[in-house]
Structure formats: structure tokens, C-alpha cells
Structure 1
Amino acid sequence: MLNTKTAALMLAGAVALAPFSLSAEELRQIHVTGEATTDVAPDQAYITLGVRAQAKEAGAAMEQVSARMNEVMTSLGESGIDAKDMQTQQISMHPVWSQVKHDGVDGREVTGFEASNLLRVTLHDLDAMGGVLDDVLDAGANEFRGLTFSYSERDAAEDLLRTQAVENAFKKARQLAEASGMALGSVREIRDGGPAGGAPMMAMEMARSSDMPISPGSLSLSHSVSVTFDIKEPSGPN
């Protein structure tokens, strides 16, 4: 019979070897990235526009901005834009500094104030966008922060792309396993890489044109997943 000391050493050796055996099994895995893409036609857009004005007094600057912005919002309403699709993004007031000279010494002092009001507008009728932009310019808008197209059914499109990305991962893994003479085993891990694309932004110039031409083009949506599979020796014939 084994004495107590010998038995303890054998047990310790078995415990020490177990992780190495497990690690060897864990190395028999394959990691792939599944991807799916699609192009959709945008059906709405977000535009950030605003009014900016300067005056010697802060109150006068803000009064000018408020009056012009009311005209802009009235114009948007007359163009069919619902009030819920207009959201104030920022109202700001800043001093205007100028270089001055007193008693032959150069310096800087506040010579006025600049006020601004930014509005985010959701446009659902892309065909009418050019006319709407011309109208708000006529109403007093003198600042644009960009135009972004979007797709209202994006959530449903991303759900489909996620499923297609997983299917693509299985296809890749099966092909790689077969090419290496192995069989595809169980899924060990799935990591959602998430959606990408779908929000191209177009800078907007202040140049006027009659019915400013706008081309929404298409949006490219994509989704990716990372999947880890076990691989194993292929089963022999029955």
C-alpha cells in the first residue's frame, strides 16, 4: 500500500496536470467574425439651423435672435413641420471683444454681445427639403450646423442584420473547420459587435439657390458579431 506521503504527492501531481489538459482542450476552438450589410433609402432627415446676431447690449442681441427665430419657426410651421419636430438645442450669449487703444496702450474690451439660438428640425418629407431650407433662410436663419439623413425603420433593419451576421459566422466557421479536417462543435461565446453606419452628415453652405438641391442617396447599414466555436475530430462512419 502507498504511504500517506506518496499518496499526497500523487494527488498533487494530478491536480497540477489537470489545468494543462483543460487548456489543451480549450485551444481546440475557432474564432470568427460574422458580418452583414444592407443599403436602405433614407426617409427622414435632421437639420440643425439657427439665428445669430450682435448688438451693443446683451438684451438687444437676444431680442433680435428671438424675433428672427420666431419667424423661422413660423415659416417651418407653414411648410408643414409639426411643432414636435422642432427642438431647441442651444441658446447662448457671448461678449464680443475688440482691440482698442487707450492713451497709446493697446488693449481689449467688450464692445458688444453676440446671441444665438440653435434649433433641431426633423424633416419627414425629403422631396420638400430644398424649399423648406430656402424658406427658413428668407425668414432669418443665418447659421447651419449640418444635415443628417436617417431611416425610420432602422431598429427592424438592425434586428435582421444581427441574425444574418450570426448566420454568416456559422458559415465561415463551418467552412474553416471542414478545410482543416475538423468538425464544428458547440458555440462557446457570442459577442455582439453592434451596428455601424447609417448616418452620413452633409455640411451645408450658406449659398442661396432657388429650391436648394438635396440628394439623400442611400444609407449603408452593417452589423457584426464575434463567435467562438469548439472544433473536434470528425465522427467516423457508423
Structure 2
Amino acid sequence: MSMLRSVLILAAIGTALPATAQQAVPTSAPVLTDGTLLDVSATGKATRVPDIATIRSGVVSQAATAAAALSDNAQRMTRVVAALRRAGVADRDIQTAQIQLQPQYRYAENQPPAITGYQASNSVSVRFRDVGKSGAILDALVAQGANQIDGPTLSVDAADAALDEARTDAIRRARARADLYARAAGLRVDRILLISEDGGQLPQPPMPMLQMARAAKMADSTPVAAGEQDLTVDVAVRFLLR
């Protein structure tokens, strides 16, 4: 019985050993020992002439009562929108931006504020697809009662294609910089290990607000120059040098 018990114990140990050997042994990530890592950041650029102008135009009215301020504002704003449509601006390019009605106060020392009247305002965001005509349209808006204009903001309609061009330029610049570092270190670029993009940059330069009186007379059309804009993409690229 003693010998039989010993044989059974040894058999149990023998069958347990393969199971133990089959257990997965965690291993650390491979360590690069035959190359050098190089991280490079680069900015790619594509230049375009803006083909869209966006402005915010509206009417500010003041009256003794809220109803009178809103009524005057609505009549003048209707003429402004009609002028935009006559100028060829599509309905999809005209969007209400903000409507406000606020009391106007008179302040005196040691007295509560007293309401002296009301101010109503209504503004629309307008997108012009012909930048060259935007100046003439601005003049027409003022003639029809618009007394508040903010803009224009110039942008590029087909921005995706321009950004793809900037991405290609960014990778080209990153590779040229990597080749420079590799030559300086007596190495060569073997391959790219990682590419990361920070995102495309669409320039939206802030423009000053123009406050125009309703009775303003302009001999010439308001000039709007499109100029050029740079659309950029930032990338980070990891290279393997050998």
C-alpha cells in the first residue's frame, strides 16, 4: 500500500507538469536594439484664393415701446432680406443669426433705473459665393436700412481638397527633415513607424465691425479684396533610422 501510494503521487505530479508548462508566460514589448527612433513634426501648407465671403448684417431699432421697436425693426429687416434676394443670394445662404429686444434705462444717483424705451435688433448671416460682388451688396443693404454689419469673413469652399494637398506637403517636409537628421548622424531612414495628425487649420481672420448710419451715402462700392489664404495641417511622424 505504501509503494502504491508513492506511485500514485508520482503519477499525479507527472500529469501536472505539462499543464504547468502550457501556461502563457507574459512577455514585455519587444525592445528596439538595432535602430534609432526619430520623431519629427512638420506643417504642410496649401494656398488658395478665398471664394466665399460671410457677413453678419442686421438692423437696430429704437422706440418708446417694445411693440413699436419690434414693428419698425421687422419692416426694415424685411427690406434688407428682400435686397439680398434681389442681389442673387440664395435662400440657403441667408440664415437668421440673432433677434433681441432690450429695454433702455436711464440711471440717476440714489434712484432706481428708469426705462426710457426699447431697442430691437435682428441680424442675419449671409454667405456670398461671388466675393467680387460682396462690396456692392453691402452698399445695397445699407441703402435698405441695415445699420449694423460685421465682416466679411473670407473662406475657401473646397477646403477638403486643399487640406489633402497640405497633408501631402506635410509628409514631404517631415521626410526631408528626417533625411537631414539621418545624414548628419551617419544613418539612413529605414521606414516610417507612426503618423499622427493634429488636424487641419481653416483660417478665419477676425474682421472689424462696421457701424453704418442708415442715411450714409457712398460714392463708390465698398471694396472687398479676397487675397490669399494658407490652409495648414500639422503632422507628427516617427521614423526608424539604421
TM category, shorter: 0.7 to 0.9
Cα distance in structure 2, aligned partners of 1:76 and 1:89: 15
Aligned equivalent of 1:154: 159
Higher Rg of the two aligned structures: 2
- Describe the SS at the equivalent of 1:201: coil
- TM-score under structure 1 length normalisation: 0.80
2:193 is aligned with 1:163: no
Aligned equivalent of 1:178: 183
Q: 1:142 to 1:21 in 2, by over 3 A?
A: same
TM-superposed deviation, 1:181 = 1.0
8 Å CA contact retained: 2:97, 2:123: yes
Aligned equivalent of 1:216: 226
TM-superposed deviation, 1:25 = 4.3
Aligned equivalent of 1:93: 101
Q: 1:107 to 1:162 in 2, by over 3 A?
A: same
- Describe the SS at the equivalent of 1:38: strand
Aligned equivalent of 1:124: 129
8 Å CA contact retained: 1:149, 1:201: no
- Describe the SS at the equivalent of 1:34: strand
Aligned equivalent of 1:35: 43
Cα distance in structure 2, aligned partners of 1:95 and 1:78: 34
8 Å CA contact retained: 1:50, 1:117: yes
- Describe the SS at the equivalent of 1:211: coil
Cα distance in structure 2, aligned partners of 1:97 and 1:189: 62
Cα distance in structure 2, aligned partners of 1:57 and 1:206: 24
- Describe the SS at the equivalent of 2:222: coil
Which 4+ residue blocks in structure 1 deviate beyond 6 angstroms? Answer: 18-21
Q: 1:202 to 1:216 in 2, by over 3 A?
A: farther
Cα RMSD, aligned residues only: 2.4
Q: 1:160 to 1:197 in 2, by over 3 A?
A: same
> 1:151-178: per-residue Cα shift (whole Å, max 9, x none)?
1111111011112211221121122112
Aligned equivalent of 2:239: 229
> 1:116-167: per-residue Cα shift (whole Å, max 9, x none)?
1110001112222221111100111111222101111111110111122112
TM-superposed deviation, 1:100 = 4.3
More off after superposition, 55-64 vs 205-214: 205-214
Cα distance in structure 2, aligned partners of 1:21 and 1:192: 26
Cα distance in structure 1, aligned partners of 2:116 and 2:35: 71
TM-superposed deviation, 1:89 = 0.9
In the alignment, structure 2 segments of 5+ residues that lack a partner are 1-24
Aligned equivalent of 1:9: none
2:149 is aligned with 1:144: yes
Amino acid at match of 1:221: L
Amino acid at match of 1:160: E
- TM-score under structure 2 length normalisation: 0.79
In the alignment, structure 1 segments of 5+ residues that lack a partner are 1-14, 233-238
Query: Percent of pairs identical after alignment?
Result: 30
